[in-house]
Amino acid sequence: MKIDLKIVEETAKELYIRALKILPPDIKSGLSELVKHETAPSAKNILATMVTNISVAEAQDNLLCQDTGVPIYKITIGSGVEVDGYALKQAIRTGCERATREHPLRSSVVHPLTRKNEHTSCGIEIPAISIDFSPTPNVMTILMIPKGSGSENNSFLKMAIPAEGIDAIKKFTVDCVLAAGGKTCPPTIVGVGIGGTSELCVALAKRASTRALGTHCADPAGAELEQQLSAAINGLGVGPQGLGGDSTAFAVHIELAATHITMNPVAVNMQCHSARRATATFTPAGVAFGF
């Protein structure tokens, strides 16, 4: 299957707009579940306001949040797919720029030193584009994530000591959620990366935080730790928007990698309650959009 780069460009544009306007069904269901189990009256009201905001935004074809975030595109290329990797990245960048200029969207991306905004949502190394590969034949997927600064600012890495064991992971994760408080616009998805190297660990945490609700770590020990940390974090009392309650997090998601015998890296990355994402799947039959 040969990929048409003009279609990729148009798809990258559409994905950015869709991600900003349509909340994934699993996040909507997650909010509904939190409302059912929340015991604090004020927290129930805040959650209800969030649900209303989602409905109004979608009914009016408007943005779920004014922060258009840092655009992230994750590409997975299946076997038998023919595409020029460099040209693929350029097509995505062009589509991202077009979404911002043509829709138009507020650009949240600036030069890190001069703070100059080109009003394209692009800049040095942005959009952040990663490419991975899959054995699935004749399929290419693009996942688009507009990562808001409220959640992204609360990113943490600790090179823990192996002798501290799992307790160090638990304590660090809970401490990060407490330190973030309401700045992440909770309820959050708390992504935890464990193992690997420092940069891989942080990437794992991002992957975990942007996973769909209802999914679990593929490793049994990781899945068990997800449940333990989810219960612990929702017992902290941070609550929606940091104003108290049971609903601090939708869930804790964990991704693992093997690591060195003298290291135990752990990273935390969070998503806000508007956990936005959109996907496009390329097959010989065409392009299908989803979440």
10 Å Cβ neighbour count for 59?
8
Tell me if 124 sits within 8 A of 111, measured CB to CB. Answer: yes
Whole-number pLDDT of residue 238: 97
Q: Shortest CA distance to 22 belongs to which of 53, 52, 63? A: 63
Whole-number pLDDT of residue 291: 96
> DSSP character for 257?
E
**Ranges of the chain with pLDDT below 70:** none
Cross-strand partners of 255: 193
H helices present in the chain, as ranges: 5-21, 25-37, 41-59, 85-102, 149-152, 165-180, 198-209, 220-233
Give me the sign of the Cα torsion angle 159, 247, 68, 9: positive
Record the tokens describing residue 204, joined without a space: 């794992």
Whole-number pLDDT of residue 101: 96
Render pLDDT for 207-237 as a digit per residue (tens, 0 to 9): 999 999 999 999 999 999 999 999 999 999 9
Record the tokens describing residue 245, joined without a space: 């309650």
Amino acid occupying residue 190? V
Whole-number pLDDT of residue 196: 98
Tell me if 127 sits within 8 A of 121, measured CB to CB. Answer: yes
Classify strands 140-147 and 278-283 as parallel, antiparallel or unpaired: antiparallel
Alpha carbon distance 288, 47 (integer Å) = 31
Classify strands 249-257 and 156-160 as parallel, antiparallel or unpaired: unpaired
Record the tokens describing residue 161, joined without a space: 């000591």
Tell me if 72 sits within 8 A of 151, measured CB to CB. Answer: no
Amino acid occupying residue 120? T
Query: What region, left, alpha or beta, does residue 282 occupy, with left being phi > 0 and alpha being psi -120 to 50 degrees?
Result: beta
Render pLDDT for 58-73 as a digit per residue (tens, 0 to 9): 999 999 999 999 999 9
Alpha carbon distance 230, 190 (integer Å) = 9
Integer CA distances (angstroms), 283 to 18, 137, 273, 288, in order: 20, 9, 32, 8
Whole-number pLDDT of residue 37: 93
**What φ, ψ does residue 188 adopt, rounded to 5°?**
-110, 165
